[in-house]
Amino acid sequence: MESEIILLDTGILIDYFRKKNKSKSTFYSISKFYNSFAVSIVTKYEIMVGSTNEQSFFWQEFFEQVEVIPFDENCLKVAVSNYKYLRRKNQLIEIEDLFIGSTGIAYNLKIATLNPQHFQRMEKLQLLEMNV
């Protein structure tokens, strides 16, 4: 099992939550090969604002099991640089995705996502091969 930390995008978490049979989720498949996971504080924000009171307990327990990475000054510098790069190419992505991807770049983490078409636009972002 690989020891590197994988940054999970919001879609991976939603997929995991919604599947009654968790073994059919992408997160479950990834966890067969990796055992260390993190999320950006932006992912935690997206999940928490989209969850009901009943779902909040599930998510609080989940976020206690993974590292939650803050959006710090290094992430900000990467985000500004990538925003300008994407704007020049006329390929802007949603600000949340920009912040999550910038966190991955700033912390040198591969990102697991169900939305590679957005994230692959970002310079230097490493996407996890999803054929795991």
Are residues 112 and 9 in contact, defined by beta-carbon separation less than 8 angstroms?
Answer: yes
How far is it, in rounded angstroms, from Cα 47 to Cα 13?
8
Q: What local confidence, expressed as pLDDT, does residue 130 receive?
A: 74
Which tokens in the block code for residue 71? 């959006």
| Mean pLDDT on 62-76 | 97
SS3 37: strand
State the pTM of this model: 0.93
pLDDT at 38 > cutoff 70: yes
131/70: higher pLDDT? 70
Q: What is the pLDDT of residue 1?
A: 60
| pLDDT at position 98 | 97
**Average confidence (pLDDT) over 106-128:** 94
Domains and CATH numbers, the chain: 2-127 (3.40.50.1010)
Average pLDDT, the chain: 94
* Residue 40 host element (H or E): strand 34-40
